[in-house]
Amino acid sequence: MLFRRRARMLRWLVCGRFGPVWMWKALLLFVAIAFASQLLGVIFSKSSVQPAARSIFSSPNDQGPSLGSCQPHTHIMFLKTHKTASSTVLNMLYRFGEEHNLRFALPLGYQLGYPLPFNAHRVKGYRGPRVIEFHIMGNHMRFNKPEVEKVMPADTFYFSIIRDPVALAESSFAYYKEVAPAFRKAKGLGDFADDPKKYYEPRLRNNHYARNLLWFDFGMDHNANFSTVLAQHGEAMIRQAFNLILVSEYFDQSMILLRHALCWPLDAVVSFSLNARQQKSSTIGGMGASWVGKAAAAAAGVSVKGGHVQAKTPLTEEQREKLRQWNALDWYLYKAFNQTFWEEIDRFGHAQMEQEVALLRMRREDLAQVCLRDGGKPVEAHRIRDKNIRPFQSGLVKILGYELHPGLDNTTRTACLRMIRPEIQYKDVLDAKQFPRVPVVQAQPGQQSQGLIAAAGGSLLRPDSSRTGERLVQVEAGGRTAKEGERDWDGSRLVNNNQTLVGGQEKGRLR
């Protein structure tokens, strides 16, 4: 009875004071719908939130199989041989050193006195008030270990790379036809191979590109008559000086051996091919019938007919054998160190090598998709919008480069840019970081300014005084002229030098 009375009182209060029951029910239904809508909105908004972007370079799972407890090598000397994919290897060293704030034994110009035997004073910072300890050396030189040892620490890891002398001759002919008299006289590489002595004069400058180029780069007499005793002596000298010799024909396998030898992560040895020349047959836009097109074709070992570039005439097996005989010292080295290379792989394990090479290639493909336009396809320099990453053009041979994907986040773009930055520009960037400019001394009134070319990053280029034909390159971005009285990184007075890059007309080439 008491319960019924209280229920009637409650109905009276609700209906009398707060309106009819149907209104109350409607209010409760509205509140329930609003609450449900808000809850669903939260759920859907949470599901639409993407995880925070993370650079593809930051994932530890993509760094290859564990290397155990070894410590990464940071004292490294790389003998950068010519036309052996060495520019790609140097890019790896540049990247690793920059990422870990290591110091480079950089040349005053772009090569360490080449083709003269290396001398320690060619290294910027070796002497003077700002002498430093160097971690990495890798620019072109003619090897001279006693002088290298003056610059690099005792625990330095030495390595280099070699290539089949026939393939090396083909590439060397294409690049150095203008500067090597022996090549310049020949109609084509086949013509040269038929009778090298007809064209070769050992005393002429730059003819070292035409015979036993590997032997020369390792610091030995490339014109010496072949003998087994001499060849074995040269091999022994290289084995004593170098910890590892790579083979460019097996580049990916070489990178795996190098990664384990240096105790580096996988990304450190993933690369895109740099300083590669265009090899496909095509019509040269608007130039096929001109003398420029014909000269370009001749330099690359191809012929021009009807305005079209025809595929180069392949060497006959007889011509290939003649080139091996002509480069007999190089051929001996290649056979010896190719055998050693595969012995290293035997010890490493073929199954493990295949697994790691597959990971390397997969990683390269992933990074190409992330970093590069057109999935990583190299393009001609004039098509690269960013002038700061256009590759240097060696003579009339087209050197290809890459374009970055637009819209990359800053971290990813920086890492991608390091992978495609050409050798010359990269050297200038490192030079500017390692040797920042001293404050500019203003010229006195009436003094005449002296021109000195400035490179990317603001570092001023100084000529290498060796007789290499090496020229200075003016990078369009960041160029400036030094005033008279301005001093270089070591406090020495800058001197005038009017060497400039003018459309590929100046003799001498960067190798």
Q: How far apart are CA 271 and CA 262, in angstroms?
A: 16
Q: How far apart are CA 421 and CA 87, in angstroms?
A: 11
Half-sphere exposure of 495 (CA within 13 A, CB side): 7
> CA 333, 339, 345: angle at the middle one, nearest 5?
135
Q: What tens digit of pLDDT does each residue of 429-480 get?
A: 999 999 887 665 555 554 443 333 333 333 333 333 333 334 433 333 333 3
DSSP string, 430-446: HHHHHSPPPPPPPPPTT
Domain ranges of the chain: 1-30, 75-431
For the chain, give the number of residues.
511
Q: What tens digit of pLDDT does each residue of 334-349 get?
A: 999 999 999 999 999 9
Give how far the C-alpha of residue 5 lies from the chain's centroid of Cα atoms, to the nearest Å: 93
pLDDT of residue 56: 58
CATH number belonging to the domain at 75-431, selected among 3.40.1350, 1.10.260, 3.30.1490, 3.40.50 = 3.40.50
Q: How far apart are CA 272 and CA 85, in angstroms?
A: 11
Q: How far apart are CA 458 and CA 418, in angstroms?
A: 18
Q: Which residue has the tokens 């051929």?
A: 331
Closest CA to 394 of 176, 217, 214: 176
Residue 145 tokens, joined: 């270990």
Residue 325 host element (H or E): helix 317-326
Whether the bond between 146 and the residue before it is cis, its omega within 30 degrees of 0, is no
pLDDT of residue 400: 76
pLDDT of residue 491: 45
pLDDT of residue 396: 55
pTM: 0.71
Chunked in runs of 10, what are the mean pLDDT values of the chain (511 residues)? 54 53 61 57 39 49 71 96 94 95 93 95 81 90 97 97 97 92 95 97 96 98 97 98 98 97 95 67 34 34 36 84 98 98 98 96 92 74 66 65 83 90 91 82 49 36 37 34 40 37 32 35
pLDDT of residue 253: 98
pLDDT of residue 67: 80
**Which parts of 307-402 are beta strand (E)?**
308-310, 379-380, 400-401
Q: How far apart are CA 480 and CA 483, in angstroms?
A: 10
pLDDT of residue 273: 81
Closest CA to 222 of 232, 210, 236, 211: 211
Percent of the chain with pLDDT over 70: 61
